[in-house]
A = this chain, B = another copy of it.
Amino acid sequence: MQVEISRDFLDQLKENIEREDKDAVYQLISEMHSADIAEIYQMLEADEGRFLFTVLDNETAADVLIELDIDERKRVLKNLPSEMIARQLIDYMDTDDAADVLGELSADRKDEVLSRMEDVEHAGDIVDLLSYDEDTAGGLMAKELIKVNENWNVVTSIREMRKQAEEVDEVYFVYVVDDANLLKGLLSMKKLLLSSRNSFIRDLLNTDFISVRTDTPSEEVSNIMHKYDLVALPVVDHIGRLAGRITIDDVVDVIREEAEKDYQLIAGITEDIEPTDKVWILTRARLPWLLIGLTGGILVSQVIGVFEADLGVYPEMAFFMPLIAASAGNVGVQSSSIVVQGLANQTIKISDTFKRLLKEFSVALLNGLTLALIMLTYNILVKSSLALTMTVSAALLSVILFASLFGTVVPLVLDKFKIDPALATGPFITTSNDLMGLMIYFSIGRILYGIF
A residues neighboring B (CB under 8 Å) = 1-2, 31, 33, 35, 158, 161-162, 165-166, 168, 170-172, 188-190, 193-194, 208-210, 224-231, 247-249, 251-252, 255-256, 259-260, 262-264, 266-269, 273-276, 279-280, 282-283, 286-287, 289-291, 293-294, 296-298, 300-301, 304-305, 308, 311-312, 315, 318-327, 329-331, 333-334, 337-339, 341-342, 347-348, 356, 359, 362-363, 366-367, 370-371, 374-375, 378, 425-427, 430-431, 434, 438
Which residue of B is nearest A431, CB measured?
Answer: B326
Which residue of B is nearest A312, CB measured?
Answer: B315
Are B269 and A266 closer than 8 Å at their CB atoms?
no
Are B305 and A319 closer than 8 Å at their CB atoms?
yes
* Chain B residues positioned under 8 Å from A2 (CB to CB): 210, 224, 227-228
Q: Which of A168, A362, A438 has the most CB of B within 10 A?
A: A362
Known A252-B226, A322-B297; judge A329-B275 contact (CB<8 A): no
A367 to B284, CA, bound (A): 9
Picked from B171, B209, B255, B367, the residue with its CB within 8 Å of the CB of A283 is B367
A176 to B266, CA, bound (A): 47
* Chain B residues positioned under 8 Å from A263 (CB to CB): 259, 262-263, 266, 337, 341
Task: Report the minimal beta-carbon distance from A115 to chain B, rounded to whole angstroms.
Answer: 30
**Majority secondary structure of chain A interface residues (helix, strand, loop or mixed):** helix
* Chain B residues positioned under 8 Å from A194 (CB to CB): 162, 165-166
A231 to B225, CA, bound (A): 13
A298 to B320, CA, bound (A): 8
Picked from B282, B289, B333, B371, the residue with its CB within 8 Å of the CB of A359 is B282
Known A162-B193, A231-B231, A256-B226; judge A286-B334 contact (CB<8 A): yes
A242 to B273, CA, bound (A): 39
A422 to B226, CA, bound (A): 25
Task: Report the minimal beta-carbon distance from A372 to chain B, rounded to whole angstroms.
Answer: 10
* Chain B residues positioned under 8 Å from A1 (CB to CB): 208-210
Are B367 and A287 closer than 8 Å at their CB atoms?
yes
* Chain B residues positioned under 8 Å from A378 (CB to CB): 298
Are A190 and B210 closer than 8 Å at their CB atoms?
no
A189 to B186, CA, bound (A): 16
Are A297 and B189 closer than 8 Å at their CB atoms?
no
A366 to B291, CA, bound (A): 13
* Chain B residues positioned under 8 Å from A330 (CB to CB): 268, 289-290, 293, 427, 430
A249 to B252, CA, bound (A): 10
A319 to B431, CA, bound (A): 15
Q: Can you add 19 more A-B contacts, CB < 8 Å, to A166-B194, A266-B337?
A: A2-B227, A33-B228, A162-B194, A165-B190, A172-B172, A252-B255, A259-B260, A268-B330, A275-B341, A275-B356, A276-B347, A279-B366, A286-B334, A286-B367, A289-B330, A290-B334, A291-B374, A294-B323, A311-B315
Q: Which of A188, A230, A333 has the most CB of B within 10 A?
A: A333
* Chain B residues positioned under 8 Å from A296 (CB to CB): 323, 326
* Chain B residues positioned under 8 Å from A251 (CB to CB): 252
Are A326 and B327 closer than 8 Å at their CB atoms?
no
Which residue of B is nearest A293, CB measured?
Answer: B330
* Chain B residues positioned under 8 Å from A426 (CB to CB): 333
A279 to B323, CA, bound (A): 25
Known A293-B327, A298-B323, A325-B325; judge A279-B315 contact (CB<8 A): no
A332 to B242, CA, bound (A): 50
Task: Report the minimal beta-carbon distance from A399 to chain B, rounded to whole angstroms.
Answer: 12
Known A248-B249, A269-B338, A371-B290; judge A434-B326 contact (CB<8 A): yes
Are B331 and A294 closer than 8 Å at their CB atoms?
no
Are A171 and B188 closer than 8 Å at their CB atoms?
yes
Are A304 and B275 closer than 8 Å at their CB atoms?
no
A155 to B92, CA, bound (A): 33
Which residue of B is nearest A384, CB measured?
Answer: B301
Picked from B228, B252, B370, the residue with its CB within 8 Å of the CB of A248 is B252
* Chain B residues positioned under 8 Å from A371 (CB to CB): 290-291, 294
Task: Report the minimal beta-carbon distance from A5 to chain B, rounded to whole angstroms.
Answer: 11
Are B231 and A172 closer than 8 Å at their CB atoms?
yes
Picked from B301, B311, B375, the residue with its CB within 8 Å of the CB of A323 is B301
* Chain B residues positioned under 8 Å from A172 (CB to CB): 170, 172, 231
